[in-house]
């Protein structure tokens, strides 16, 4: 649990049947703008994932839904949160009536090789060198202040991931490299082994994926993969939009229109 912060955070009024799930892992709080926008007309919960294993995060999110939400819920997962939401829906179908995946990572390893290359190409020389230096430091067991370094890396990656962002606050409550390292290594192994797509095939509820055309995560790694294994799947590609649609000047309004419509269906 994050000291001094309610988990989950609540927005709007009951019933709380919409859940926004942050990315990272290890960077809780990023979905605050989405929660606030949706809470104008509905009750929204924002869980903060604190477990330091993939299995632990799946269990944690499921338990938060069971104890705090009016289920079955609409799960809205962004980035890593898209995978996490899908895993919860696959394991506990009675808890989830709809999945909305935003900026999801690709579900098959063959689509993932270009992501970092694209990001580095979008940065200036000094920023590229800084990214590579931080990554090297994070892989060094003797390196100190890894949480701070991960936070800085997140800022640089966000710049590369954005098309035309509006000014916005960093809503992350607390960055944890340890959670990121432990959870992401297990998640990557799931994708490499093909198990991630097998888990996706167990999802019974409708699934909608929203993706920016400027997102370095290849859209075909979501659209093509999930369309093969899901019965009720739709894919929406947003023009002039990066990894975080809610901060994109040219896509933000359409994104929230789509999200509101899907949450009402």
The answer to whether the predicted template modeling score (pTM) of the entire model surpasses 0.85 is: yes
Q: How high is the pLDDT of residue 211? A: 98
Across the chain, how many H-helices and E-strands are there? Answer: 10, 7
Q: Does the pLDDT value for residue 191 go beyond 90?
A: yes
- Asked if residues 248 and 240 have their Cβ atoms less than 8 Å apart, the reply is yes
Contacts of residue 34, defined as CB under 8 A and 6 or more positions apart, other chains included, come to 20, 76, 78, 246, 259
The structural architecture, per CATH, of the domain 9-264 is 3-Layer(aba) Sandwich (3.40)
Q: Tens digit of pLDDT for each residue in 22-39?
A: 998 988 888 999 999 999
How far is residue 8's CA from residue 48's CA, in Å, rounded to a whole number? Answer: 6
Q: How high is the pLDDT of residue 10? A: 96
Q: Tens digit of pLDDT for each residue in 249-261?
A: 999 999 999 999 9
Beta strands 207-212 and 96-102 are: parallel
Q: How high is the pLDDT of residue 29? A: 84
pLDDT confidence tier of residue 4, bands split at 50, 70 and 90:
low
Q: Where are the domains of the chain?
A: 9-264
Q: Tens digit of pLDDT for each residue in 70-107?
A: 999 999 999 999 999 999 999 999 999 999 999 999 99
Q: Tens digit of pLDDT for each residue in 150-164?
A: 999 999 999 999 999
């Amino acid at each position: 649990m994050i000291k001094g912060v309610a988990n989950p955070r609540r927005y709007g009024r009951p019933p709380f049947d919409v859940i926004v799930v942050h990315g990272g892992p290890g960077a809780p709080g990023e979905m605050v703008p989405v929660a606030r926008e949706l809470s104008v007309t509905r009750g929204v919960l924002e869980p903060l994932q604190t477990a330091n294993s993939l299995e632990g995060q799946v269990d944690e999110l499921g338990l938060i839904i069971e104890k705090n939400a009016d289920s079955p819920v609409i799960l809205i997962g962004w980035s890593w949160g898209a995978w996490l939401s899908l895993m919860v829906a696959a394991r506990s179908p009675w808890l989830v009536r709809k999945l909305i995946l935003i900026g999801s990572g690709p579900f098959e390893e063959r689509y993932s090789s270009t992501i970092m290359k694209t990001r580095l190409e979008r940065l200036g020389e000094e920023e590229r060198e800084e990214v590579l230096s931080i990554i090297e430091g994070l892989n060094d067991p003797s390196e100190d202040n890894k949480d701070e370094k991960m936070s800085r890396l997140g800022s640089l990656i966000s710049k590369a991931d954005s098309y035309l962002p509006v000014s916005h606050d960093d809503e992350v409550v607390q960055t944890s490299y340890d959670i990121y390292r432990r959870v992401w290594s297990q998640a990557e192994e799931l994708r490499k082994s093909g198990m991630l797509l097998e888990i996706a095939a167990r999802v019974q509820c409708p699934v909608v994926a929203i993706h920016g055309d400027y997102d370095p995560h290849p859209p075909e790694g979501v659209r093509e993969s999930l369309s093969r294994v899901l019965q009720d799947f739709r894919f929406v590609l947003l023009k002039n939009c990066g990894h975080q649609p809610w901060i994109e000047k040219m896509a933000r309004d359409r994104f929230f229109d789509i999200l509101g419509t899907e949450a009402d269906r």
